[in-house]
Amino acid sequence: MKLFLLLLTALPLTAQTVPEALSFLERAEKELLAASNYANRAGWLQSTYINEDSETQAALANEQYIKKVIVLSREANRFDRLALPAEAARKLKLLKLNLTMVTPSNDAESTELTRLVARMESTYGSGKYCRDAATDKGKCLDLVQISNIMATSRDPKELADVWQGWHRVGPPMRKDYTRFVELANKGARELGFPDSGAMWRSKYDMPPDAFAKEVDRLWEQVKPLYVSLHAYVRRKLRDKYGADVVPARGPIPAHLLGNMWGQSWENIYDLLAPTNAAKAYDLTKILKDRKVDELEMVRYGERFFSSLGFAPLPKTFWQRSLFVKPGDREVVCHASAWDVDNDEDLRIKMCIQISEEEFGVIHHELGHNYYQRAYKNKPYLFRDSANDGFHEAVGDTVALSITPEYLTQIGLLDKATDPSGDIGLLMKQALAKIAFLPFGLMIDQWRWQVFSGQITPAQYNQKWWELRRKYQGIDGGPRGEEFFDPFGKYHVAANVPYTRYFLAHILQFQFHRALAQTAGCRGPLHRCSIYNSKEAGAKLNAMLEMGTSQPWPEALAAISGKREMDATAVVDYFARSRSGSTNRTRASPPVGSCAAHGPS
């Protein structure tokens, strides 16, 4: 008989008491902390030393953690009818929503599922596109190398070649992913959820259907900005590549946007710069000219948080993090932040490139680390962000303060650029932030429908591209079911929910607007930096320290004064009045405003 069934059948049938519930929670948190730390260490090893042994150990540790959560979640059902103190009741709820994947009760299926996930992530991490060795370009390219080509090449044939080449990583994993969905759904149903997607949506302090409607509401607030930007970008790309490559209406070819997934477009700013924009500074060039290395890139991020009043990162952060891709082994280069021991063993893992984009990514990842440390003194079940969008938003909020004024303060610019030419600065931000929004939305729109069965395995690729055309207005060309393009994105391969990133791109502007006001910034919102503001740092830290001890509207109110997510802050950031200051009442036409047809 299975271990967890033995535990369940051994449970007493007598009425439960509040002291028993509190004692159970104390034991559960102690056991979960130990299991989490073990899984974290095994996961770090798998990501930084990809091989069969590390993959097996990570799968085993992950399986043990998941089983521990499932056993405790079912044991917690004993206390459902008790009138518990508010803190204990919230802990029980969070315990049952602790996982993004629930393994089935069958031991063989449980092991199969965790090994599937480990194998899919490793396959993604070690993926390469090997060109025809008979050509003069015959060599294998990893995702970092392909991404550099996507960012810098302006040859549409080369771009199409590497874009299609990378997506060859997906088809071999299609069968594994189909089986993964079956098993993950079985586990979710055993915990009382209709499917894994419904389980994910249950984590937002509101019913799953209500959360889906909330996401739709936020998208409608920002959609006009994206439609305008899309129309402008399509016209400029048509001017560059010609009518035979870029259509006058409809979707933009996916390989032309400077990014493998078309989720950010700032790499093609040189093709899109407005004619009336002041000459933009090139932060990538500045960093390289000054011979800033990978460690110094991270120290810039640390110094920003220190200026807000946060303590320096621990010494072990610098000893144990992965900053540079090793030359002797495969690693998962996708940037991530780690709290290995749920205390002070903070790390980041990324193969840092010296670039403006990575400068911002570092601030983002450190945001996770400082959030993790801020709530470390909370009980284990409260050591998380208010919702997962908060965790993603914090670092990006800080990155919004990477303004010309900030770069001047830290000596990377001799003087701040003239605000009168800020249309270019705003365009660069729009290409990163506004361009991302529909992509951040559609990943889980696809997965929610896959988990629910609305999208069948026979439709995986068809429906993927239908959603990309609907939300992003991007097309990959003829991509039949012999392809499995969703697997070309890390978060699909690794089963990481993605709506958090969409929420983060809303929340970061809401956080930034509130903190800029606290810092006393009086200029345009896009020129406000909270660097060196201890007042803003204290307000931010007050929210971070809450962890997930309160429903997310309470945490949002602590930093913004509002209990509802509000995308008007996005509009405020990109709106400019005639005087050049931010217009907080009615938005002027957004960056790239154009009457041409948008994504549809």
Return the active site residues.
Answer: 365, 491
Q: Write out the H or E segment, with its range, that includes residue 347.
A: strand 346-349
Helix (H, G, I), strand (E, B) or coil at 349: strand
CA distance 59 to 53: 10
Burial of residue 243 (CB within 10 Å: 0-12, 13-18, 19+) is exposed
CA distance 396 to 403: 13
| Sequence-separated (6 or more) residues with CB below 8 Å from residue 475 | 250, 251, 252, 253, 254, 465, 468, 469
What are 426's two structure tokens? Answer: 């705003």
Cβ–Cβ < 8 Å for 460, 450: yes
Q: Could you give the C-alpha distances from 498 to 202, 203, 281, 446, in angstroms and in order?
A: 14, 13, 32, 11
CA distance 516 to 519: 5
Would you mind telling me the total number of residues written for the chain in this entry?
Answer: 600
Nearest CA among 429, 300, 289 for reference residue 352: 300
Helix (H, G, I), strand (E, B) or coil at 130: strand
Checking DSSP bridges between strand 336-339 and strand 346-349, what pairing results, if any?
antiparallel
Helix (H, G, I), strand (E, B) or coil at 322: strand
CA distance 225 to 525: 17
Cβ–Cβ < 8 Å for 62, 43: yes
CA distance 255 to 262: 8
Cβ–Cβ < 8 Å for 202, 387: no
Q: Could you give the C-alpha distances from 22 to 28, 34, 69, 77, 187, in angstroms and in order?
A: 10, 19, 17, 13, 27
Residue found under tokens 């008790």:
82
DSSP at 348: E
